[in-house]
Amino acid sequence: MDPAMALAQAIMTSLLDADLSGSELARDFEKSMGFFWQSTHQQIYQELRKLAAKGWLNKREVNQSGKPNKNVYGLTLAGREALADWVFGPTKVQPTKDELLLKLYNLSDDNVEHVIGEITHRREEVMQRLYLYEAIRRRHYDDPGSLPVRHKGVYLALASGIHQGEQFLSWCDEALTLLATVTGSAGH
C-alpha cells in the first residue's frame, strides 16, 4: 500500500466522530493512531489539502477572537464512502525497518556494550509506551464487551499494541541475558 494512501485513511478515520482543525487533528493523531502510524504535522496538513481537493473532506473557516481564523475539516459523504471502500480492500503490512535489528547483524566484542545500552534504552521506551497504553485501556476500554462496535475496533488496535509491547519486552530481556554472557555482566 502507498504510505500516503494509508495516511489519508488514518486522517479520515480521525474525522469520523467530529470535524477538527489541522492542529487538533495532529494533536489527536499523536494520542491515538500515531502510536502505530507515524506522520509529521507537515504530512498531515499536506494530506488534508489533498483530501479536500478530492472532495473527500470539506473545509470551513472558523473565526477566532484574538487569533487567526482556523480551517476545520470534516468528512464528506464521498469521503465516508471512500473510507468504507478502503476497509473492504486488501490489507498490507508495512515491512519493518529497525536499525537496532540491523546493528545486531554487526555485533562484535568491540560494540556489544553499546548495543546492550541501545537495547536497554529501547526497553525503557517500550515500558513507558506500555504504561500509557494501559492507562488508556483502563480509562476508556475497561469493559470491551460493552463498547459500541467502532470502539471495539479501537480497543483491539490498542490491545495489539499492548501485546506487541509485551512481546518486545520479553525479547529485550532475552537479548540482554544472552549479551550479558558475552560481557560477563550479571544481567541488566
Quick: pLDDT tens for 135-163.
989 988 999 999 999 899 989 989 999 99
Confidence at residue 162, expressed as pLDDT on a 0 to 100 scale: 94
Domain end marker among 60, 88, 116: 88
In a domain, 93, yes or no: no
**Structural domain contains residue 188:** no
pLDDT at 65 over 80: yes
Same domain assignment for residues 117 and 159: yes
Predicted confidence band of residue 104 (pLDDT cuts 50, 70, 90)? very high
Rounded-to-integer distance, Cα 182 and Cα 113, Å: 9
Binned at pLDDT 50, 70 and 90, residue 34 comes out as low
Q: What is the mean predicted confidence (pLDDT) over 80-94?
A: 88
Of the ranges 41-45, 49-53, 72-76, 140-144, which one carries the lowest mean pLDDT score? 41-45
**Residue 8 maps to a domain:** yes
In this prediction the pTM is: 0.74
Q: Which of 88, 112, 128 is the last residue of a domain?
A: 88
Q: Given 88, 121, 139, which residue is the final one in a domain? A: 88
Residue 156 located in a structural domain: yes
Structural domain harbouring 140: 99-183
pLDDT at residue 130 greater than cutoff 50: yes
